[in-house]
Amino acid sequence: MDPVADMFSAIKNAIMRRRDYVDVPSSKLKEAILNVLQKEGYILKWERLDSEEHRKGTQYKLRIYLKYADPKKSKSVIRDLVKVSKPGRRIYVPKHLVPHVRKGLGIAILSTDAGVITDHEARKLGKGGEVIAYVW
């Protein structure tokens, strides 16, 4: 029911299996979240697979290249992904209550009127919004 939660589950499962990449169905919100994760250094990169073999109707696939802290892939850069706002219960915060994740060691991903941004950027811009996820 929740495509973003499905993407997070696919990422966590790929990390447990020590995969180099994972493919997930596309959406604009997922692309914005992946841009934030790439900018913050939690994933290597992501790309849109537009070829006919990866396309299902009008929807294409996103390939997410995972990042590991060591060459043996025993430790991932992403320790955990927690979906906060769910379809049945959306979590919104005002600008003065933007959460700190792991005392600043992790990030909160927020959807604001300025786009999908981290908690650090939201505090800098003075924006509140929907808390999508915590990453550390």
Whether residues 7 and 35 fall in one domain: yes
Residue range 94-107: mean pLDDT, rounded? 97
Whether residues 61 and 10 fall in one domain: yes
Whether residues 90 and 59 fall in one domain: no
pLDDT of residue 111: 98
pTM: 0.94
Expressed as residue numbers, the domain containing 120 is 81-135
- Distance (Å, rounded) from C-alpha 127 to C-alpha 14? 33
Residue range 86-115: mean pLDDT, rounded? 97
- 74 φ, ψ (degrees, to nearest 5): -85, -25
pLDDT of residue 59: 87
Q: Contact 4/132 with Cβ under 8 angstroms?
A: yes
pLDDT of residue 57: 80
Average pLDDT over all residues of the chain: 96
Secondary structure of 31-46 in HEC code, one letter for each residue: HHHHHHHHHCCCEEEE
- Distance (Å, rounded) from C-alpha 107 to C-alpha 110? 9
Q: Give the torsion through C-alpha atoms of 88, 93, 98, 101, to 10 deg.
A: -10
User: In the chain, how many domains are there?
Assistant: 2
pLDDT of residue 91: 98
Is 21 within a domain? yes
Whether residues 37 and 61 fall in one domain: yes
Residue range 107-125: mean pLDDT, rounded? 98
| 57-79 pLDDT per residue, tens | 888 999 999 999 999 999 999 99
Q: Give the torsion through C-alpha atoms of 6, 118, 72, 7, to 10 deg.
A: 10
Whether residues 27 and 55 fall in one domain: yes
Last residue of a domain, one of 42, 66, 90: 66
pLDDT of residue 52: 82
pLDDT of residue 50: 85
Whether residues 12 and 62 fall in one domain: yes
Does residue 54 surpass a pLDDT of 80? no
Whether residues 55 and 87 fall in one domain: no
